[in-house]
Structure 1
Amino acid sequence: MKKQGVIFDLDGTLIDSLMDIALCTNIVLKEFDLPEHPLEEYKYFVGGGADILIKNALPKNSENELAKKVLNRFKKVYDQEIHHNTKPYEGIYELLELLDKNKYQVGVLSNKPHEFTIKYVKDFFSKYSNIIEVHGSKENVPKKPNPQAAVEIAEAFNLKCEDIFFVGDSDVDMKTAKNSKMKAVGVSWGFRGTDELIENGADYIVKTPLDIYNLLK
């Protein structure tokens, strides 16, 4: 059987973190006397990393200096508030058990700051020894949808890119898969709708985590 691997996005794919992201952002916006946003709007603010989240949450044409201050404060608040509402989606643990049992190599690639990505994977998924590559946003590596980090994970797996399924919930993830020549798998349970996933090149749309395992088989 051909060896295959899986790279997962984190937020909106493995974990439902939207409530905590929204709460922490609104705490910071309130501190700066800026307008807050309802939960639903945050579905479209996330995906590009913390800096893009803050840019989207701030009023249009906000000064760069304000954005930097709000971003730095957000990171402190988000770190302190980890995190009562965030949890893996239903079926994720069962999927990871199967991937581990059947020795599929697994990676996580997020635009979330690297230190938070590492923390969440450690908190929720440390028992799975086959999760061998975990990468968040780093200053010296371009963020998704740039393919560099995904390709580096493939190299660490010692697999060809075309033998890897890239799983995510947003246009950024589908573009990352396409840019790195991986199979693009869009999840229907994430922050965005399936229309966005299809429009951005999803090869497959899955309705449950176990559907991902069936794709691999």
Structure 2
Amino acid sequence: MKSLIFDLDGTLINSLLDIALSMNKVLEKHGYASHEIDKYNHFVGDGALVLVKNAMPKDATENEIKVALKSFIEIYEQNTHNNTFAYEGIYEMLEKLERLKIKKAILSNKPHKFTLKYMENLFNNFHFQEIHGQKVDVPKKPDPTMAIEIATKLNTKIEDMIFVGDTATDMKTAKNAGMIAVGVEWGFRTVEELLENGADFIVKTPQDIIEILNKLK
């Protein structure tokens, strides 16, 4: 039986506005120019440090980036996250997976404590066997280490693992791990990016993930 690993931001939840507003507050606090919200589509996906580096001026020093990262973590943690929500159809898809008794996990480059917070706030009614955000002692995606570890914990063969995400980082993680790569159209990046980085399937709606499971039985 197949098992699923989901990315979080841009895949299950739309968190872009809260991330962008928090980072723009950091930039304004430290005297830098802020960005249009849409710009953050290309800043996110590789963890908080890369987000900050992408948003900061190109000539920012390591110390300035370090200070800005600390500010971002503080501001993002204080944010009420009223603008973050599960994409349409996600809850229905998860309900079907639970009825089918499909094992599922989360693997995100979002800091682990924020990953846990969102899972508790938005997905408390669902059972995920494994939940992992970015941790200091674990390589982040696209390194396949944690994806492979999740497969082991789910007692699922690598070739039976389906990795669902919305960025090149997610597709590369799937390919690096030897898993089936599924790219979602509703996320932060383009279909072209997903295909160029190894997507085996592209889905237009969460329901399409169920259809892929049926095809791969």
Which TM-score tier does this pair reach, normalised by the shorter chain? over 0.9
Query: Matched residue of 1:43: which SS?
Result: helix
In structure 1, C-alpha distance between the alignment counterparts of 2:204 and 2:162, rounded to whole Å = 16
| Alignment partner of 1:204 is 2:196 | no
RMSD between superposed Cα atoms in Å: 0.6
Mapping 1:77-96, distance limit 5 Å: 77-96=75-94
Deviation track 1:134-188 (CA, whole Å, cap 9, x = no partner) reads 0000000000000001001001100111101100000000000000000000000
Map of 2:95 onto structure 1: 97
1:163 aligns with 2:182: no
Work out which of the residue numbers 167, 172, 175 in structure 2 matches 1:175: 172
Q: Given residue 66 of structure 2, which amino acid in structure 1 is its aligned partner?
A: K
1:158 is paired with a residue whose SS is coil
Is 1:190 aligned with 2:187? yes
- Give % identity: 53
CA distance in 2 between partners of 1:15 and 1:204 (Å): 20
Q: Name structure 2 gaps, 5 residues minimum.
A: none
CA distance in structure 2 between the partners assigned to 1:163 and 1:56 by the alignment: 35
Letter in 2 for 1:148: T
Task: Give 2:50's match in structure 1, choosing from 49, 52, 77.
Answer: 52
Residue 82 of structure 1: CA displacement?
3.1
Give CA deviations for 1:86-110 in whole Å, capped at 9, x if unaligned: 0000000000000011110000000
Q: SS of 2:54's equivalent?
A: helix
Aligned equivalents of 1:175 and 1:61: distance in 2? 29
Which TM-score applies when normalising by structure 2?
0.98
Match in the other structure for 1:13: 11
Count of residue correspondences: 214
Counterpart among 119, 122, 132 of residue 120 in structure 2: 122
In the alignment, residue 45 of structure 2 is paired with which amino acid? G
Displacement of 1:69 after TM fit? 0.6
5+ residue gaps in structure 1? none
Deviating beyond 6 angstroms after TM superposition, the runs of 4 or more aligned structure 1 residues are: none
The one-letter code matched in structure 2 to 1:104 is I
Shift of 1:191: 0.4
Aligned to 1:149, which of 125, 146, 158?
Answer: 146
What is aligned with 2:35?
A: 37
Between the aligned partners of 1:107 and 1:126, the Cα distance in structure 2 is 14
Match of 1:71 in 2: 69
CA shift at 1:128, angstroms? Answer: 1.1
